[in-house]
Structure 1
């Protein structure tokens, strides 16, 4: 299927962008029926067809959820019925991380795997990475899709790519020095962990040639304090990226670093109120719903990501007309904590704590006081800093949040997705 990566589509008019999206969508939908049993049954059950004449008609189609896809795979093991082609046409197997439950299996054809790589090439180019760079990917390569596509995208770009699997943190730092890496790709938590190991081992990060870091897997590189900490530690510019195993690599940061742009040449994005399903206005927060336009062997139509984002409209100082998500992924719907009537996202707590250079790591402990949620923090920091942290939290959220200083190195470190929220509410029932 031809790609829509028009060289200037990102700066084109909205009418042209949407016309190209509709054309891609129409062409792709003709490939799904009658080959894809999952969507054939799903759409017919809702009285819908795949004949869309306007982009806004997409809102007539039902949502797709991860729970549906998991249930489909349970009913029809191993891969479910969301397969447009015979199994022999698929060349890549991956699965979700399983951090929120049973992993979802995902398959890609050679065509859709190339599409993944093209999407990651966009991520690199927006960050200023070129074929002259040496890209080090600090990731333990396994069935989780993670940075596999980042590896393919680097090859597509023509840059030298170095996989950093099967190494501990110090070995990775030394490898980066040996190969003279100029770009680091990892989660934001692991970038901070590498910097911590460098301090502990007397390894001078400033002697490395890293000029760009690119991060994915969790919110962080769009959180101002977290990005600032990464940039100060590495002496490099830090860029965010967003993607999902079941969706693709859809978000990238431009040179202005105002948040994430959705790659609307390859995805259709909606930002909807999670309860009403209606679009939210510019400036408001809603759930990101995505449709990919290049993965027809394992499609995802109107996929509810569960991620909360702010509608930043279609204007950015960089000149791109692609949808902007200021602050990147703000959090997940099921991660939001309601503490004494105040909505708090873990990413907002990170933004506060990472303002303090003395904070090495932290944990959010959630408990319940009758019908109300309560939170407390364990923070690796000097005890003398607790009062200032508590006051900054109070000023940010209007709440008194207890903070306990714990010994440095006593809390877990993370290579992939960080798990900093410990929910003790069920234990208290």
Structure 2
């Protein structure tokens, strides 16, 4: 049984860790030395965190452009760093990020919490379905699984069929991958007569996309695999900061290692309870590559509810709703791709989909392309999208295998508009 710190005790720990971090990086980190030069330390309360400046990804990218290759956001001599990773670069230039042995151990500790909340133990056989590139998430998951004492099975450059057979032959009980790839593996399994419903896989932990917290996507994956799905969220520049639990109704922030705020991205002020805002995080255990009041770009709902699972850490109902930069305005309606996905995934007949923004008669429009063996799904899906999104969205059925499949982060949005809406 896990014993959590009481709220007062937790806040005291957070403040202590935060002040230790701030005092250290102000003296040893050139990037933050400049940003913190007018801040009086130590902070007297956690509320004073709002006196610290925000950090943005653009600042970190610009810093690396100005001081190549790694920028000035490192607190130790280069020879102290043992791990190199980088962001995906899906929203711009990739960030190069270094970890010392101590800070990568911290990454592993964060992942141990993900495993614990998912019910994974040393008795499990954990299968990592990814290619072991510079993306940090599953590297940390790999090392954490070793620390846990579980059998770890990597699949490297194997094809999807080879991975499925590898899982079956080695009696994998836990699968780690993106939600998109879990769906694709199920499609490949069906095509090749591989029975995943009765396989030993009982737990799926997803990362890299918001789909694991989208109920319809989660339900579809669980139905196809006969397993329970747990979501995880993290960022290369931040850490593995959140995870779902047995209740599967949102995400917990790992407050022992992170301080979370939810702000209005326009006013930069905290949003009220129940309102949607941008998640801002401070990591407390990564002094070699700190991220203080980092604007994640992830949109969440600020909540003061406690989860029935007993975990008292800050709870995000519905998980990550979408990215701030993913939202578009089509004919006056704010649209997040995850909102459309949540409706599409209610139809198990849809094998794959793509969202296309385009311009017609000087008006921005949206359509959804789907692969499906059912013709009846088109009018039904179009009706449901109009009712739930509040906008007429064209649904177009395309041939099988016309749309791309993804092993890592899916890119299901194509923007063909002649005029961009900011």
Note if contact 1:368-1:428 (Cα within 8 Å) is conserved in structure 2: no
- Equivalence for 1:414: 406
User: What per-residue deviation string (whole Å, max 9, x for no partner) do you get for residues 184-222 of structure 1?
Assistant: 000000000000000111111123100000000011111
| Preserved contact between residue 121 and residue 153 of structure 1 (Cα < 8 Å) | yes
Q: CA RMSD in A?
A: 1.6
Q: In structure 2, what is the equivalent of residue 27 of structure 1?
A: 20
Partner of 1:3: none
Distance 1:127 1:285 in 2: 27
Match of 1:109 in 2: 100
1:16 aligns with 2:9: yes
Equivalent position to 1:233, from 221, 224, 241: 224
Q: Which residue of 2 aligns with 1:404?
A: 396
1:349 is the counterpart of 2:344: no
Partner of 1:206: helix, strand, or coil? coil
Q: Would the alpha carbon gap of residues 295 and 371 (structure 1) be closer, same or farther in structure 2, given more than 3 Å must change?
A: farther
In the alignment, the residues of structure 1 paired with residue 17 and residue 280 of structure 2 have an alpha-carbon distance, to the nearest angstrom, of 18
Q: Does 1:59 align with 2:59?
A: no
TM (normalized to structure 1)?
A: 0.95
Give 3-state SS (helix, strand or coil) of 1:214's partner: strand
Alignment pair present for 1:306 and 2:300: no
**Aligned pair in 2 of structure 1 residues 178, 427: CA closer, same or farther (>3 Å)?**
farther
CA 1:426 to 1:151, structure 2 compared with 1: closer, same or farther past 3 Å? farther
Q: Is the 8 A contact 1:314 1:322 kept in 2?
A: no
Return the offset for 1:34.
Answer: 1.5
Deviation at 1:61, TM superposition (A): 0.5
Aligned-pair CA distance for 1:257: 0.6
| Counterpart pick for 2:212 among 217, 221, 226 | 221
Corresponding position of 2:378: 386
- Tell me, yes or no, if the aligned pair for 1:188 and 1:218 is still in contact at 8 Å: yes
TM-score, with structure 2 as normaliser: 0.97
* Structure 1 residue ranges, 4+ long, deviating more than 6 angstroms after superposition: none
Alpha-carbon distance between aligned partners in 2 of 1:168 and 1:406, rounded to the nearest angstrom: 25
1:373-409: CA deviation from partner (whole Å, max 9, x where unpaired) = 3211111123321000001111111211001001121
CA distance in 1, matches of 2:419, 2:390: 28
Partner deviation per Cα, 1:37-61 (whole Å, 9 max, x = no partner): 10011222xx223421110100001
Equivalent of residue 359 in structure 1, options 350, 353, 360: 350
Aligned to 2:29: 36
Q: Is the 8 A contact 2:359 2:419 kept in 1?
A: no
Count of paired positions: 420
User: In the alignment, which residue of structure 2 is the partner of 1:171?
Assistant: 162
Unmatched runs of 5 consecutive residues or more in structure 2: none
Alpha-carbon distance, 1:337 to partner: 1.8
Which stretch of structure 1 is more off in the superposition, 72-81 or 305-314? 305-314
Choose the corresponding residue for 1:153, options 141, 144, 166: 144
Return 5+ residue gaps in structure 1 as ranges.
Answer: 1-5
Q: Secondary structure at the match of 2:27?
A: coil
- Deviation at 1:427? 8.0
Q: Which moved more, 1:64-73 or 1:140-149?
A: 140-149
